[in-house]
Chain A
Amino acid sequence: MFKTNTLRTAVAASLATLTLSTPVLASDEPVKVGIMLPFSGVYAALGDATRNGLKMALQEKSSELHGRKIEFIEIDTEARPERAPEIASSLLDRSKADFIIGPVHSGVAMGMLKVLRGKDTVMIVPNAGAGPVTGPLCAPNVFRTSFSSWQPSYPMGKVALDKGYKNVVTMSWNYGMGRESLDAFEESFTAGGGKIVKQMLVPFPQTEFQSYLSEIASLKPDAVFVFFAGGGAVKFVKDYDALGLKGKIPLLGSGFLTEGTIEAQGAAAEGVMTTLHYADTLDNELNNRFRTSYKEQFGKPSDLYAVQGYDTGLLIANALNQLKGDISDRDALINTMANTTINSPRGDFTFSKAHNPVQNIYLRTVENGENKVIEIASPMLEDPARGCKL
């Protein structure tokens, strides 16, 4: 809390000096950025990292905002979908926010969309991967700086085929993100001649995997593809190893399997192969600088969620810069945002017609407790945005 306050003061101070030295001002009104992230509950760590990244980007770019100050209005969603419409309405009507950033959780995203679609504010999703956000429910004023659930999993189908795997068991929790991930994998895998031996859906958020793994062992597939995240991912990878499947049946997954969980998984995660739009170990100048600077400012290592927050900040900063600080014309704002290129630590990305990132998806494998990048599994991959009429 103390750190973010310091940061806020720093942003304000640097902007204040800028204001004094710039004679022509676009507007004295601050740009209002509403933040709807979980700061308590299971996703609290994700919310924190996203907020840190967002503020860090806006501070770094403070000299390019044409004198506009940024005012943050932060509300804790607690990752509770039922609260989302109410909070979004209050940011929209009472606070008159120019931008609303959020959320982490896909259920909350649906609640926010219900209120914000087509409104006079720009909603930027820094994490939630639910397909409909940039699919059937896409809207001009809705952007996403993270990924669609389809994106990280689709390239793995081809990777599996290249490795010579023909029969694969897929497994996930029985909820939106899980099912969408398995479907995306299946789409590219079966198109190339692969066969899904069995799809296993575990009730969310159950973590008793032993009976499922015993069945996988009896099915003897060439490989297993899974989507799990957080605590469930830790338990799954540990069980997979403990029951002796690791080393006999290769484990593939959407990158979230080993994101923020790798330390807790320990040796059990070694060799697990995943696809994702980022890896901490990406060796480019921007990423190295980002990681060093994040660690200095916040005293802990950055992660995927910090990067996504950072890129959200860059998107706002880019738009303000290109429009010379004047965002009163919302059509011009949306147009500028849609056509910008974000120089992200994950590599440059642009936006699709549905306002979802067109980005590299990396193939990674766990080596010595790190997600090591092997190659780009799919360069500049665009979500098909099925059902979007933009």
Chain B
Amino acid sequence: MTTSLFFVQLINGLQYGLLLFLIASGLTLVFGVMGILNLAHGSMFMVGAYLAWYFFEHTGSFGISALISAAIALLIGIAMERGLIRHLYRRNHLDQVLLTIGMIFVFNALQSLLWGNDPLGVPVPQALSGAIPLNDVLEYPIYRIFVALLCIAIAFVMYYMINKTRLGMLIRAGESNREMVECLGIDIRRLYTIVFAIGVMLAAIAGVASAPMSSIMPGMGEHVLITCFVVVVIGGMGSIKGAFVAALLVGLVDTFSSVLVPQISSMMIYILMAFILLIKPQGLFSS
């Protein structure tokens, strides 16, 4: 591999990793704070992408469509927590898995009914449609750089929110001792609703952001979900910092293995996961 190709692949890997972080962050946040294993997280990624397409077709503006989609995702998140998830806090993980797997089927059926089964696409927004030449053949699309920066920005906001704000303080407190927080007169149920809705919205935002650079199709959520779980497990269940490091790691390993060892590239991230769990059974940054 030449040096220039190495750097191109490095950028590819980092960009893929950052997107993975955006999707996985909501999953790990919800698990860390509420102890809920949300298998329907991938479905929210899919819903985000479909909403982005739907509102783009109706408004003609990707920006407006993105805002509406994120707002709807937030509402779906609130409804899911209030209507379904709330009843399972005191049950075990298996019950949560059953419920959220059922939700995957519901979302898939809704997708098929509302939007059909043909693959759909959204064009890249005009303002971000250019590309930066890397060498004589290859260019790097500005939109992908924008998405990478957006992911970094969201990582910072999450870090700031959890460590420096009152909401973050409550989240951290709720994580370590739920009863004590309740004793101090904080409505932990409202806090949970907010956290769950934010988690859902993060998945949907990832779906919206990927819409212009991927194909919007049935089953896109499940594929993403598996990779997401690899990221969350490697990083340590519930750790945002862990998810960030793990996502970049998975992105780089996946990218380089598909070039260097194409025959076994599809298993490389799982080998990585097994290897890390051998050394650190709780993941890299488990609390």
Contact = CB atoms under 8 A, between A and B. Distances in A.
Nearest to B264: A203
A299 to B, nearest CB: 13
B286 interface: no
A265 B8 CA distance: 25
Nearest to A199: B262
B83 interface: no
Interface in B124-153: 124, 131, 133, 135, 137-141, 143-144
B111 to A, nearest CB: 11
Interface string B258-278: 110010011000000000000
Contact of A208 (B137, B258, B262): B258
Report the interface size class on chain B. Answer: 35 or more
B255 A243 contact: no
Nearest to A41: B218
Contact of B119 (A203, A248, A264, A267): A264
A243 B131 CA distance: 8
A243 B15 CA distance: 13
B139 A244 contact: yes
B118 A243 contact: no
Interface string A237-252: 0110011110011000
Given A208-B258, A238-B121, A245-B138, A231 B217 contact: yes
Interface in A238-286: 238-239, 242-245, 248-249, 260-261, 263-267
B194 to A, nearest CB: 33
A44 B112 contact: yes
A165 B29 CA distance: 52
Nearest to A212: B258
Interface string A203-245: 1011110111011011010000000001111110011001111
Nearest to B210: A235
A230 B121 contact: no
A156 to B, nearest CB: 22
Report the interface size class on chain A. Answer: 35 or more
B163 interface: no
A115 interface: no
A230 B217 contact: yes
A147 B83 CA distance: 50
B81 interface: no
Contacts of A215: 5, 259
Contacts of B60: none
Given A214-B5, A235-B214, A235-B215, A264 B16 contact: no
Given A44-B112, A210-B16, A242-B141, A200 B219 contact: no
A201 to B, nearest CB: 7
Contact of A264 (B121, B255, B256): B121
A211 B258 contact: yes
Among B5, B121, B135, B219, max chain A CB count under 10 A is at B121
A45 interface: yes
A18 interface: no
A327 interface: no
Given A44-B112, A211-B12, 8 more contacts: A43-B117, A45-B116, A45-B118, A208-B16, A214-B138, A215-B259, A217-B135, A242-B213
Interface of A: 40-45, 200-203, 205-208, 210-212, 214-215, 217-218, 220, 230-235, 238-239, 242-245, 248-249, 260-261, 263-267
21 contacts: A42-B217, A44-B112, A206-B266, A207-B223, A208-B16, A210-B15, A211-B9, A214-B5, A217-B135, A217-B137, A217-B138, A218-B4, A218-B138, A233-B119, A234-B214, A234-B217, A238-B121, A243-B138, A244-B139, A261-B119, A264-B118
Interface of B: 2, 4-5, 8-9, 12-13, 15-16, 112, 116-121, 123-124, 131, 133, 135, 137-141, 143-144, 213-220, 223, 254-256, 258-259, 262, 265-266
